[in-house]
Amino acid sequence: MFIIRWIVGRVILVLNFIFSPSSPKLSTEQQAELDQKLAHLSLYQLPACPFCVKVRRAMKRNGFNIELRNINQQLAYQDELIKFGGKRKVPCLRIANKEGTDTWLYESSDIVEYLTQFAETKS
């Protein structure tokens, strides 16, 4: 099963590379301002997870540079996800609120919808 998952994961990564969406053309100042607005977000993910790829593609289409946290590469990220998010499931978008609390958003479709709403309000 590991070998099949590994092969399928690599196929997903190759196809994502080949058919990667283009980013919007933003000036350096516009990108810096957008990055500052997104600094409170981080995405817990796995590189070859198809649902994570879906979220990363939405990020790229909107020019969003959100911190990516690979839960297999850094076990501290996996521990954070389980301790604060409640489960080891990716993708998960961590939204740090100004009040000091965090919102943990699971489900790729919900994350893409949140990012799409954010993209509509950024202009």
CB 20 within 8 A of CB 56: no
| pLDDT of 67 over the 80 cut | yes
Coil, helix or strand at residue 120: helix
pLDDT digits (tens, 9 = 90+) for 72-120: 999 999 999 999 999 999 999 999 998 888 999 999 999 999 998 877 7
Residue type for 59, please? M
> Domains (ranges, CATH) in the chain?
33-122 (3.40.30.10)
* Separation of CA 24 from chain center: 17
Contact 92, 105 (CB under 8 A): yes
Q: What is the pTM of this model?
A: 0.89
Does the structure show a pLDDT above 80 at 123?
no
